[in-house]
Structure formats: C-alpha cells, structure tokens
Amino acid sequence: MTTKQLYDELNYVNHSREKRLHYANLVIDNPDLIPKLLDILFMVDDKISCRAAWVFEFMCGENLEAAIPYLDDFTKNVSKVHLDSAVRPVAKVCEYLVKAYYSKNDNNIKTALLPQHKERIIEACFDYMINDEKIAPKAYAMNSLYLLGQDYDWIHPELALILERDYQMQSSGFKARAKHILKKIKK
C-alpha cells in the first residue's frame, strides 16, 4: 500500500473504536505502513492527519514496541501537531511511552527511549500544559511530566508551578488530576 492509498483509506476511519482498531491492526500486521502513517500524521494542517493520529494511538495501545523504530521521527515532530483531535492521541502516545519507560515490568521501551526522545516529550508536554489545550492532553502531559520528573529534578517544581497557577481557571477534570499530581509531588 502506498502513502496515497493509506491516506485514502484513512477517510474511512471514524470515532468508533471498531474502525480505529481495524486500521491499527492493519498497520500492526503491515509494519511497512508505520512510516507512511507517521508521514500522514505529521501533515499537521490536513484534517486526515487526525485520523492517522487516532490509528497510531490505537496501534501503540495494542503494540507499543512497534513504534520503537520510529521514536526519533515521532519525537522530532510531536511538537508540530496542533489540531485538537490530533493533539489528544499524540499526547496519549507520549504517556504510553513514558509509562512503559518507568514500568516495573521489563520491556524494550526502557532501552529504546533515549534521553533526546525524553527531552522532546518533555518539551511537548510542557507546551500542552501552558497552551490552550483541552483537558485530555493536559492530563496525559501532567502524568508524563510527573513520571519524567524522577530523572529530571527541575520538572516537578516547574510542573507544580503551572498546576497551582492554572488551578482556578481550569475544569473540574483538570483540578482533580492536578490535585492528585500535586499531592504526589509534595510527598
């Protein structure tokens, strides 16, 4: 399948879990489609990029290690994504990667996620926190930054500052997550 054919196929992806899972499995079964999917995902001004992001998120949810060969490409471009419906799945993939990295279980992400990848994820997550994003990317970013703060001692104070500053102006969902993260930081 060419990039153009995959692009055309993504027109059939919708919000249903069934469709996203179908295309995620198609990509998992055909790993040569992953770089093509990422090419489409990073066409950041194109609405189809959002559908590519949904499929990539589901693919990572099913088989995160399939993304390992593309960590460099993903982390280099993650900050360019700006359409709301693409930002959420991309932030979720960042959280998947960080959770896997700090997991107690052995996995290949622990060796594949390099310092430069983590630094790019940190930058993207702080962007989600300070920009006018919806609650979901902020929640994923909070969680990722909290975990990354185990290795970067400057993250927790910065994160706490942002959470405390924005607390009053945010939704109840943000407040609940922020309260939880702040409690963990202050331990």
CB burial of residue 28 (10 Å; 0-12, 13-18, 19+) = middle
Tally of domains in the chain? 1
Segments in the chain below pLDDT 50: none
Structural domain including 104 reads: 3-186
Q: What residues contact residue 140 under an 8 Å CB cut-off, 6+ apart? A: 88, 91, 92, 94, 95, 125, 128
Q: What is the pLDDT of residue 171?
A: 78
Q: What is the pLDDT of residue 165?
A: 86
Which CATH number belongs to the domain containing residue 140 in this structure? 1.25.10.10
Q: What is the pLDDT of residue 138?
A: 93
Tell me the per-residue pLDDT of 1-35, one tens digit each, with 9 for 90 and over: 888 998 999 998 888 888 888 999 999 999 999 99
pTM of the model: 0.92
Q: At what angle do helices 115-130 and 84-101 cross, to 10 degrees?
A: 140
Q: What is the pLDDT of residue 172?
A: 81
Tell me the per-residue pLDDT of 92-107, one tens digit each, with 9 for 90 and over: 999 999 999 999 999 9
